């Protein structure tokens, strides 16, 4: 890695060296950004092991060269890295077993004495017409409610899962809540 002595290398210089196979440049780049990426991804996913896997896959793609940085006028390496990491997280969430991992994680955090959200909903179904109101929702509205409320996905994650824009997810969720309110009032 050719960097003036006493001056830390820029991100672009590090990535150019990584592209040339420089392990020390890769290690320095990893140390500089892995913690930051892990923290940002944890805001999107509650499963720390999945986040760790995504961080490793992101940096592995950079090392193998499948994710190449092309220096932009703004030099936004963090934005480039975030795009790679967030896309890999969405792919991982789409993958098999994501719901099972989420369910295991949620059961670890659940209070033993407090009824779960699912139990509360089932009680409301037994003593109200919630089931009928849910059945009367269109499949599109029901799918959005399931993704955002029951599965706990963010608007963006639900949009990717359902293959629709995030704005459409928000609109459908609003329409579903309004319709449920009207029917249960």
Q: Is residue 16 a part of any domain in this protein?
A: yes
Q: What is d(CA 151, CA 99) in angstroms, rounded to the nearest whole number? A: 8
- Alpha carbon distances (Å) from 145 to 37, 115, 152: 29, 21, 9
Question: Does the model's pTM come out above 0.85?
Answer: no
pLDDT tens column, 35-90: 999 998 888 888 888 899 999 999 998 888 766 666 554 557 888 888 889 888 88
pLDDT tens column, 112-137: 556 555 565 556 555 567 777 888 88
**How many domains does the chain contain in total?**
2
Residue 147, C-beta contacts closer than 8 angstroms, at least 6 positions apart: 153, 157, 158, 161, 162, 169
Q: Which domain holds residue 22?
A: 11-94
Domain end, chosen from 61, 94, 127, is at 94
């Amino acid at each position: 890695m050719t960097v003036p002595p006493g001056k830390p290398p820029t991100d672009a210089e590090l990535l150019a060296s990584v592209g040339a196979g420089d392990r020390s440049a890769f290690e320095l780049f990893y140390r500089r950004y892995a913690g930051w990426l892990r923290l940002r991804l944890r805001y999107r996913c509650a499963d720390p092991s999945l986040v760790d896997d995504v961080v490793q896959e992101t940096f592995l793609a950079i090392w193998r060269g499948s994710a190449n940085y092309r220096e932009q006028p703004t030099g936004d390496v963090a934005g480039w890295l975030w795009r790679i990491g967030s896309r890999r997280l969405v792919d991982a969430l789409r993958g098999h077993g994501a719901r099972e991992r989420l369910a295991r994680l949620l059961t670890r955090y659940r209070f033993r004495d407090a009824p779960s959200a699912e139990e509360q909903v089932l009680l409301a179904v037994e003593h109200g017409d919630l089931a009928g109101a849910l059945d009367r929702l269109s499949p599109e509205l029901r799918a959005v409610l399931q993704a955002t409320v029951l599965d706990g996905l963010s608007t963006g994650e639900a949009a990717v899962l359902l293959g629709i824009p995030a704005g459409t997810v928000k609109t459908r969720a609003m329409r579903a809540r309004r319709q449920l309110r009207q029917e249960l009032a």
